[in-house]
Amino acid sequence: QAKAAGRRTWMRYDDSMETAIRRRATLAGALHKALDRGELRVVYQPRQSLASSRITGAEALLRWSSPEHGEIPPADFIPLAEENGMILEIGEWVLREACLAQRRWREHGLSDLTVSVNMSVLQLLRGDFAEVVRRVLDDTGVPPQALELELTESVLMANATQTAQKLQAFRELGVSLAIDDFGTGYSSLAYLKRLPITTLKIDQTFIADLCHDREGASITTTVIAMAHGLGLVVVAEGVENEAQARFLAQHRCDEIQGYWVSQPIDAMSCMAFIHNRQLAAGQRAGAVGAP
Ligand code: C2E
Ligand code: MG
Ligand code: MG
Ligand code: MG
């Protein structure tokens, strides 16, 4: 009898594995058609300066609404797209969408914003990615200074020597480079110093801990000081409340991103949001400066 029970347990395990594998295969198949069917879209999450309260730019985040499978988070489908190489096509599409949004913002007078695009390691390691970026910038008429590419820390560390060289090509193009999810990998100071990066984004897990435990707070203040020592702009991710924002302002973090500023929203809403915020910030500045 024990044997039978053991067998059933094994079969259940086997079934659930098979279900997971089948789901991945189904999703991967659906993803193949998603781009052509217009199921993918890009949303934008604004980023705010703590010193001036101005919106400095926005991060492009990919969304997939599948008629068959519903809303699928990027954490579920980006790895699939990386496995089958589709991330190259999808990534270029996101880049183009983000640059088109940036052009529209600029046409409406929002000229000093940066649009940030997440980049997969597969894109970075492909030979001609700098060429792809240059072409998209050319096609859309967006200046390189208005674009920032984000790479996760773990990706940079896993391919240390190769990436350092690759990144140089982007800096020569004039685009900014951010290291994303910082604190989750194992970057050494010496290594960070060698990378031609401009921005460091502190991972949201540290920000979540900021006001509850001393470790979260001290990691954050240490990272801010270190980044400033290296001449980098520091952005805190996942800022959800005023207490976190105030702590970060007190410790001279440069910018914040998170639900406290805004959820990720579509390109038109983002433009309206930024427009309203800049007007408000301008009025506040005017009020302070008035006699
Ligand atoms: P990420 O680049 O670190 O993006 C930040 C994530 O935090 C986003 O999740 C965003 O929606 C979420 N977030 C923003 N504010 C808050 C907050 O206040 N609290 C909390 N708890 N979360 C917040 P999302 O959109 O689900 O994206 C997850 C990850 O998927 C991204 O992390 C990025 O690594 C990847 N990703 C998204 N779009 C793309 C893309 O176009 N290309 C590539 N290669 N990766 C992408
Ligand atoms: Mg990012
Ligand atoms: Mg991040
Ligand atoms: Mg992340």
Minimum-distance ligand 1 atom for the alpha carbon of 81: 44
Number of the ligand closest to the Cα of 205: 1
Protein residue with least CA distance to atom 15, ligand 1: 258
Return all residues near 162 (Cβ < 8 A) that are at least 6 apart. Answer: 125
Q: Give the residues surrounding ligand 1 with Cβ less than 6 Å away.
A: 45, 61-62, 73-75, 78, 91, 94, 118-120, 150, 180-181, 204, 237-240, 258-259, 264
**Mean local confidence (pLDDT), 143-164:** 85
pLDDT over 60 at 65, yes or no: yes
Q: What letter represents residue 262's amino acid?
A: S
For the chain, the farthest-separated pair of C-alpha atoms sits apart, in whole angstroms, at 89
Task: Grade residue 21 by pLDDT with cuts at 50, 70 and 90.
Answer: confident
Using the 8-state DSSP alphabet, how is residue 210 labeled?
Answer: T
Minimum-distance ligand 1 atom for the alpha carbon of 74: 30
Write down the mean pLDDT value for the chain: 89
What distance in angstroms lies between residue 84's CA and the mean position of ligand 2's atoms?
A: 21
What distance in angstroms lies between residue 259's CA and the mean position of ligand 4's atoms?
A: 15
Q: What letter represents residue 157's amino acid?
A: M
Beta strand 40-49 with 255-257 is antiparallel
Percent of the chain with pLDDT over 90: 68
Minimum-distance ligand 1 atom for the alpha carbon of 62: 38
d(C-alpha 120, C-alpha 32), whole Å: 18
Confidence (pLDDT) at 291: 39
d(C-alpha 233, C-alpha 213), whole Å: 25
For residues 42-61, one letter each, b for 16 or more C-beta atoms within 10 angstroms of the residue's C-beta and e for the rest, the string is bbbbbbbbbeeebbbbbbbb
d(C-alpha 272, C-alpha 251), whole Å: 30
What distance in angstroms lies between residue 117's CA and the mean position of ligand 2's atoms?
A: 7
The helix (run of H) or strand (run of E) holding residue 43 is: strand 40-49
Minimum-distance ligand 1 atom for the alpha carbon of 87: 44
ipTM: 0.98
pLDDT over 70 at 263, yes or no: yes
What distance in angstroms lies between residue 238's CA and the mean position of ligand 1's atoms?
A: 9
Beta strand 199-202 with 233-236 is parallel
Each residue's pLDDT tens digit, 228-253: 999 999 999 999 999 999 999 999 99
Give the residue carrying structure tokens 């208005």: 146
Write out the residues surrounding ion ligand 4, Cβ under 5 A: 181
Angle in degrees, CA 58, 84, 205, rounded to 5: 40
